[in-house]
């Protein structure tokens, strides 16, 4: 069995730390009253950034291209969703909608980018192997 290189171990560590950040944020928000939503969203964004920007196990040109494409579409789609949220919130007398912070927008756009990247990578693997 091949032993992982130092770079692969560092990548695993960054992804593990990102997952731990997400778990701590979720558990803290649910079970610790001192965790406000602003703190939770900050910790979640940090964890998602670790997951999104950590190099992959096979980090070739195709993976980087898919990641850049996902980030581009994720941020464009996330900003479109946030714009619609603002328009709907102000247009249809839905004044009870909560105000979104910058971390909320980063959270939304980063989740969209991560989902798109993993979907396109999965689809790319199926097309290449089939």
pLDDT in tens, 121-130: 999 887 765 4
Domain that holds residue 48: 1-55
Q: Are residues 21 and 60 in the same domain?
A: no
Judgement on whether residues 74 and 87 belong to the same structural domain of the protein? yes
Residues 61 and 32 in one domain: no
Q: What is the mean pLDDT of the chain?
A: 87
Measured from the Cβ of residue 46, the count of other Cβ atoms closer than 10 Å reads: 16
Does 21 share its domain with 77?
no
User: How many CA atoms does the CB half-sphere of 115 hold within 13 Å?
Assistant: 11
Residues 48 and 5 in one domain: yes
Same domain, yes or no: 50 and 60: no
Give the number of domains in the chain. Answer: 2
129 in the same domain as 69: yes
pLDDT at residue 27 greater than cutoff 90:
yes
CA distances to 9, 22, 89, 100, 116 from 81, rounded to whole Å, are 36, 22, 12, 12, 15
Range of lowest pLDDT (12-16, 73-77, 91-95, 98-102): 91-95
CB 49 within 8 A of CB 75: no
pLDDT value at position 99?
79
Same domain flag for 76 and 124: yes
pTM of the model: 0.82
Q: Please check whether residues 66 and 128 belong to one and the same domain.
A: yes
Q: pLDDT by residue (tens digit) across 86-99? A: 887 777 766 677 77
Q: Which of 55, 75, 92 is the last residue before a domain boundary?
A: 55
């Amino acid at each position: 069995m091949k032993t992982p290189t130092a770079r692969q171990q560092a990548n695993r560590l960054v992804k593990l730390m990102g997952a731990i950040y997400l778990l701590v944020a979720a558990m803290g928000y649910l079970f610790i009253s001192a965790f406000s939503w602003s703190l939770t969203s900050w910790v979640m964004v940090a964890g998602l950034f670790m997951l999104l920007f950590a190099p992959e196990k096979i980090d070739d040109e195709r993976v980087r291209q898919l990641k850049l494409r996902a980030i581009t579409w994720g941020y464009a789609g996330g900003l479109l969703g946030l714009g619609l949220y603002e328009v709907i919130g102000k247009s249809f007398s839905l004044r009870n909608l909560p105000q979104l912070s910058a971390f909320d927008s980063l959270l939304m756009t980063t989740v969209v980018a991560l989902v798109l990247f993993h979907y396109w990578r999965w689809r790319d693997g199926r097309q290449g192997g089939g």
